[in-house]
Amino acid sequence: SYVLTQPPSLSVAPGRTARITCWGYNLGSTSVHWYQQKPGQAPVLVISYNTDRPSGIPERFSGSISGNTATLIISRVEAGDEADYFCQVWDGSADHPYVFGAGTKVSVL
* Contacts for 108 with CB less than 8 Å, ≥ 6 apart: 11, 12, 13, 14, 77, 78, 79, 81, 82
Instruction: Select the span of 13-21, 34-42, 57-65, 71-79 touching another protein (CB under 8 A).
Output: 34-42
Q: Rounded CA gap, 57 and 31, in Å? A: 19
- CB-nearer residue toward another protein: 16 or 49: 49
Report if residue 5 touches another protein, rule: CB under 8 A.
no
Candidate residues 61, 63, 74, 103; the one interacting with another protein per rule CB under 8 A: 103
Report if residue 30 touches another protein, rule: CB under 8 A.
yes
Instruction: Select the span of 18-26, 63-71, 72-80, 94-102 touching another protein (CB under 8 A).
Output: 94-102
- Contact of 68 with 27, CB cutoff 8 Å: yes
Q: Rounded CA gap, 81 and 91, in Å? A: 29
Report if residue 10 touches another protein, rule: CB under 8 A.
no
